[in-house]
Structure 1
Amino acid sequence: MRALVLNCTLKPSPEPSNTERLAEVVSEALRERDVEVTGLRLADLHIPPGIGTDLGGDDRWPEVHERLVNSEVLVVATPTWVGHPSSIAQRMLERMNMMMSETDEEERPVAFNRVAGVVVTGNEDGAHHVISEIAGGLIDIGYTIPGQAWTYWNRGPGPGPSYSDTDEGHEWSASTGRAMAANLHAVARALAANPIGPPPS
């Protein structure tokens, strides 16, 4: 089984990413279940705006798309900015939009029988809203979202330290992240054994 973690931080490498640190908890729990995990930081790739799978030129989205269709598990990790997912997370969903019209050899949307979850960080509240926006978009595209397929960390109301600057709340976020990984793995296995068929005509 393969998992793809798309980190939608605004920071390019090698800048430290708080979101990546929390996502790694989920990644490690998936690896413990013999899942092959690949992570990509989308800020490191040239991904222009649009809805096509390949916009030509130096567009790097086609390689992300290839990894998406070859992974049974997707984890989207995003910081919270002004109460919303990062602009990179929104662009990711827009580029994934074309997957709704792509089908496999059995005429199913290519995202069918794949599971997804969400990791969110931020030093102010808004995580549940961000989870809802990302999960809702992924459901439209065809992904299955298991129960409690998310984890998040925030410091609470008002400005304050970021995830990497404090240990506050880490235990809960890590425990929830491990549960997220278990649920993603369980549902991915169930779908592999009993896949969703093509939509009725």
Structure 2
Amino acid sequence: MRATILNCTLKKSPEPSNTQDLADVVGAGLRELGTDVRSVRLVDHAVLPGVSSDLGEGDDWPGIRREVLESDILIMASPTWLGRPSSVAQRALERMDAMMSETGEDGMPVAYNRVAGVVVTGNEDGAHHVISEINGGLVDIGFTVPGQSWVYWNMGPGPGPDYTATEHGHRYAHQVAGMMARNLYGVATALRKSPIPQEFSREAG
């Protein structure tokens, strides 16, 4: 089993990322189940704006797309800014839009039979909105989103300390992160054993 975390923080490496820290809790849970987990901090790469899978020279998205499609599990991890997903998360979804009309050798849409989940952090409110926005896009693209396949941490209304600056809510968030890991793994395992039949897949266009 293989999982890819797309960290949609606005912070370039090596600056610490609160979003990565919480995503790593989910990653640890998946590793305990025997999953190979890899993480990509998108802002460290040249992900050009657009809705195609390959925009040519200078575009790093094709390699990231390959990583996603070689995985059974995709985790989108985003901070909350102004109550919404980061611009990096939106760009990733826009680039994955091309997957809606792409099929594999089996004739299935390329995102089918893969599961996805969402991690959100922020010292402001809006996590549920961010989860809904990202999940809505992932479902449109063709990913399967299991129940309780998300985790978030925030400080509630108004600004406050970051995830790494306080222990506030960590116990609850980590419990939910563990449940998220198990649910993602469980549904990914089920889809491996019994994938969506080709005749049930939607027609492109």
Specify the TM-score bucket, using the shorter chain as the normaliser.
over 0.9
Identity %: 58
The Cα shift of 1:27 comes to: 0.2
Match of 1:3 in 2: 3
Match of 1:66 in 2: 66
The Cα shift of 1:200 comes to: 6.0
The Cα shift of 1:136 comes to: 0.5
- Taking structure 1 as the reference length, what is the TM-score of the superposition? 0.98
- Give 5+ residue unaligned stretches, structure 2: none
Residues in 2 aligned to 1:49 and 1:126: alpha-carbon distance in whole angstroms: 25
1:31 maps to a residue whose letter is R
Q: Deviations over 1:63-87 (max 9, x none)?
A: 0010111000000000000010000
Establish whether residue 120 from structure 1 lines up as the match of residue 114 from structure 2: no
Match of 1:94 in 2: 94
Residues in 2 aligned to 1:84 and 1:72: alpha-carbon distance in whole angstroms: 27
Residues in 2 aligned to 1:97 and 1:56: alpha-carbon distance in whole angstroms: 17
Match of 2:164 in 1: 164
Count of paired positions: 201
Match of 1:35 in 2: 35
The Cα shift of 1:57 comes to: 1.1
What's the secondary structure of 1:4's corresponding residue? strand
Match of 2:50 in 1: 50
Match of 1:79 in 2: 79
1:47 maps to a residue whose letter is V
- Give 5+ residue unaligned stretches, structure 1: none
The Cα shift of 1:195 comes to: 0.2
What's the secondary structure of 2:117's corresponding residue? strand
Q: 1:92 to 1:200 in 2, by over 3 A?
A: closer
Residues in 2 aligned to 1:143 and 1:57: alpha-carbon distance in whole angstroms: 28
The Cα shift of 1:155 comes to: 0.6
Q: 1:200 to 1:117 in 2, by over 3 A?
A: closer
The Cα shift of 1:58 comes to: 1.1
Root mean square deviation, CA, Å = 0.8
